[in-house]
Structure 1
């Protein structure tokens, strides 16, 4: 399905409900959850109206929506009752975790009820293959739990405070993606979900039945819990290497991406982006940076290789806190720090392909002030191309130029389902026949 580069409001799929239905639903939820389990207070409404879409000047300029009510379930068993109540009243329901997504995925475009899942934090089990937890468990907590049991998650996002349900519904990649791909490519072994029907119940899905509900923005079912893959814990080192020139750094990162054993994370930035990152002796101002999570057995060999390529080793660190710290400097986060250092100046586009290195100058020249943040992923390079923002039309105009260079482009300035949308819509037609789950996500 083709789609524009940036989102604009459409009323397609707007549920027909009004104040009377909202008031009736509020009474239902009060009986289910008690006075602390539901709120229409301005502070609660304001919090449930925000996510990470502030990174996009295009989305920031739009009123993406506000809920009428927010509820806070504390047990998985109550979720079907909440969903049944919303279906009975015809009120749309949007599920959210920590709200760390960047595309407005959890901002309720047509109002209604937001269900905050962050109280459902229980970790239920871990074995040699997988960890099982409720949707509100934070990814960093799961990684720590895995480490404590001699394991590690297959992957977790750069926004390490994201919830499990949020990452599975709206996330895609992160630390570990180099080896294991994205989160809809085998990471999920099972899901517990609730569909938006008048007889809603917890439904357990295994294997191939669970995969189709990953990265669907919650439009095809409410994720209540999940079992996701783990593997034996490796002895990781966080290495920081600086370069005088980012061309050399990016070429060295490309070379390192094929190293065996593979890094768990591999990021590179030019000096201007490094200068905006949090202060750290290993992030040398005025110099480009490679940051990598490496198996301890290969650190010396990799450092020798990077030194021969013109790099200077600034630090080698160990421990889970250091791996999490490095993860928080990957993917969208360098752009976030760049925007924080230079408010109301930069936008970014998500880009991929070998041209990010082989045609680096041309790629960075597409947008005024162009600066690329580079990530190595599963059998591909991708990154965030930052540029000085002027207008949505300017953003759109650069896409054909990038594609002509052999660069794939994904817009972070949209709110619609962006992975196999026709397939997801077909699933939602069965699991949400009234179109109440996070409506307004189709183009």
Structure 2
């Protein structure tokens, strides 16, 4: 293991020398310096926030590297450190908070070609950082298993999900990423002689959801569980309150659902036409174990709704995932460009005080997710100004609604711990610079 206390030399960035070294390491196909490639590598999904979009462009890569193995990721990091060049790690670039934007230029380290799945064992799968969540799920399924959770953007990479995500499909049962999803990681610290550093259990946890600011995830081992027979479940209601009335009961179904989402007719009218999500009706979509379909049907009918369809196959369940968590804002923005913004919210008041919640922002529309303990979701509103967005936070607190501010790019999960770790693992401050700071705006409540 390399000495994580090594001090990187404080030298002026030398991109030209780094490019020369990386071409020797990776070959010409493994390095890009043309403007089109640099621009493509310098954007992510933060366009979903009109607040962040108003501050773009936040940075442009000087160079892009495409290592094809975990070991090459380490070689690239070491070379960048020796040449004093900032390093911004990147998976598929689907993050919504500017995590993948190189705010100080330098090197974008694109991990998407390091995608080998190394082992599928009893209760675990090991893969390089660029392996997609879909690929992991397929490999696990072939072994009669499934991953515990995956993000709504299922084409995201495992490294990107662990570095920038929080939860997703499967979180009803398993919680968020910090609840034991990752068994072990091979990470790379920003030191001149960088190599893979293996961490397990509690030692791995501080590297999760810190945007690669204290170490870049190059390889991961995550938990698997026995494969279940899932179905895509589609229901609709005359009124959104009918769906809300059973959302907490859906979370308690047995076997536990993988996902349950519900929305006002506003979303159904913004989505591509699908008879299972009829226009002008509130919709509820769920990924259910086949054994719970009858109980779910009874819940829907007891609330005055109707089951529109029950579908088999990965395509059906993936479709439902792509309309979950933050994804409804993307569909709303496609249908109504320049109109909507969102804030992530949670708490029983989402159900109990829905009218007051909708009044917080003009045109308010709650997207809700069933979750054991308390429902979560996002409130979408018609965007007027950055000040309007922040002014709503106080009102959310008054209603007893927790929130997370998605309109900033700072590490906001235990930033002090991450900063303390980065003092050892990134002494020159080269890992994703600009992201590990205390936000100038309120990042969220802890209700």
Q: 2:321 aligns with which of 327, 345, 349?
A: 327
Partner in structure 1 of residue 152 of structure 2: 158
Structure 1 unaligned residues grouped into runs of 5+: 1-14
Encode CA deviations 1:219-272: one digit per residue, 9 max, x unaligned: 011111100011001111111010000011112212222222221101000001
> Residue 373 of structure 1 aligns with which residue?
367
Name the residue aligned to 2:42.
49
2:305 aligned residue: 311
Return the offset for 1:17. 6.8
Distance 1:389 1:427, change over 3 A: same
Which residue number corresponds to residue 25 of structure 2? 32
Q: Deviations over 1:78-136 (max 9, x none)?
A: 22221111111111001100000000001011110001111011111112211111100
After TM superposition, the score normalised by the length of structure 2 is 0.94
Q: Unaligned stretches of 5+ in structure 2?
A: 1-8, 439-447
Please give the per-residue CA displacement for 1:162-214, whole angstroms capped at 9, x wherever unaligned: 00000000011111000001112100000011100122111111111111111
Give distance in 2, aligned partners of 1:36 and 1:237. 42
2:294 is aligned with 1:300: yes
1:180·1:378 contact (CA, 8 Å) conserved in 2? no
Verify: 1:142 aligned to 2:132, yes or no: no
State the match for 2:3 in structure 1: none
Tell me if the contact between 1:178 and 1:379 (Cα under 8 Å) persists in the aligned partners: no
Partner of residue 186 from structure 1, selected from 148, 172, 180: 180
Given the alignment, which residue of 397, 401, 419 partners 2:395?
Answer: 401
- Which residue number in structure 2 is paired with residue 173 of structure 1? 167
Moved more, 316-325 or 147-156: 316-325
Q: Is residue 70–residue 129 contact of structure 2 (8 Å, CA) maintained in 1?
A: no
Residues 382-427 of structure 1 show CA distances to partners (whole Å, capped at 9, x for unaligned) of 1110000011000011100011000011011110001001011111
- Size of the aligned set, in residue pairs, is 428
Q: For residues 16-72 of structure 1, give each alpha carbon's deviation from its aligned partner in whole angstroms, at most 9, with x where no partner exists.
A: 876x61111111112211222111111111111110000000111112211110011
Aligned pairs for 1:38-437 within 5 A: 38-62=31-55, 63-437=57-431
SS of equivalent to 1:184: coil
Partner of 2:370, secondary structure, is strand
CA RMSD of aligned residues (A): 1.3
Residues in 2 aligned to 1:305 and 1:21: alpha-carbon distance in whole angstroms: 63
Structure-2 separation of matches of 1:372 and 1:127 = 40
CA distance in 2, matches of 1:362, 1:226: 43
Q: Quote the offset at 1:302 in angstroms.
A: 1.5
- SS of residue in 2 equivalent to 1:193: strand
**4+ runs deviating over 4 angstroms:** 15-18
Distance in 2 of aligned mates of 1:189 and 1:432: 23
2-structure distance, mates of 1:294, 1:85: 48
- What SS is found at the alignment partner of 1:196? coil
Q: Which whole-Å deviations, capped at 9, do the CAs of 1:346-390 have from their partners, x for residues lacking one? A: 000001111000000100110000001001234221111000001
Q: Secondary structure at the match of 1:87?
A: helix
> Does the 8 Å contact 2:133/2:157 carry over to 1?
yes
CA distance in 1, matches of 2:407, 2:362: 18
2:444 alignment counterpart: none
